Amino acid sequence: MGSMFSSPQFTKEQMEIALTKAKQIVSSNPVVVFSKTYCGYCTRVKQLLSQLGATFKVIELDQESDGDEVQQALLEWTRQRTVPNVFIGGEHVGGCDSVLEKHQQGKLLPMLKDAAAVPNNPAKV
Ligand SMILES: N[C@@H](CCC(=O)N[C@@H](CS)C(=O)NCC(=O)O)C(=O)O
């Protein structure tokens, strides 16, 4: 019995590699959406970011050979296992609910601007 974040199916080295990869992607892109192609919540987030004119990097975990390791690494890093798992400006934002909430609060576009993920005069949604 390990902690709730233990990952008996992967080696420590696999997890280190996956975490390093996830952090490298997050630090080198203004917006990152860890996603799965069949996930409707992911589609919603990608749609909203597109409507806002944002540049964003999508990692479809169900299409990556190391997707399960990366998902496990994201759980250990962010305490979130589900997709979408969204980062803006290197900061963890959360899932679809969190992103939509930020948008409803009028906070999403400013975050995207701060991260230089949108042009100066993006379309309003
Ligand atoms: N409340 C979450 C729902 C996300 C969710 O349920 N995602 C599903 C896929 S549609 C998931 O990650 N399931 C676990 C998995 O795919 O490993 C959100 O707003 O992002």
The answer to whether residue 124 sits within a structural domain is no
User: Ligand 1: distance of its center to the CA of 37 in Å?
Assistant: 12
Q: Which pLDDT score is estimated for 42?
A: 99
CATH number of the domain to which 28 belongs:
3.40.30.10
Please state the pTM of the whole predicted model.
0.91
Regarding an ipTM greater than 0.95, the answer is: yes
In sequence order, what are the beta bridge partners of 57? Answer: 32
| Spatial contact of 66 and 25, defined as CB atoms under 8 Å apart | no
Q: Is residue 60 part of a domain?
A: yes
4 — phi, psi (to 5°)? Answer: -65, -10
Residue 23 resides in a domain:
yes
Residue nearest to atom 15 of ligand 1 (CA): 82
Edge-to-edge strands of the sheet including 57-60? 57-60, 31-35, 85-88, 91-94
Q: Whose CA is nearest to atom 5 of ligand 1?
A: 82
Asked if residue 74 belongs to a domain, the reply is yes
Beta-ladder partners of 94 = 86
What pLDDT was estimated at residue 86? 99
Question: Candidates 45, 74, 82: which one to mutate for ligand 1, based on the most atoms within 8 Å of Cβ?
Answer: 82
Q: Please report the pLDDT score of residue 122 as a whole number.
A: 52
Check residue 5 and give its pLDDT.
59
- Among residues 82, 101, 83, the alpha carbon closest in space to that of 33 is found at 83
Q: Which residues surround ligand 1 with Cβ inside 6 Å?
A: 36, 39, 41, 82-84, 95-97
Low-confidence ranges of the chain (pLDDT < 70): 1-8, 120-125
User: Is residue 17 in some structural domain?
Assistant: yes
CA distances, 116 to each of 14, 18, 72 (Å) = 32, 26, 29
Total structural domains within the chain:
1
pLDDT in tens, 61-87: 999 999 999 999 999 999 999 999 999
Residue linked to tokens 């997890």? 15
Give the range of the structural domain holding residue 83, as residue numbers without chain letter.
12-115
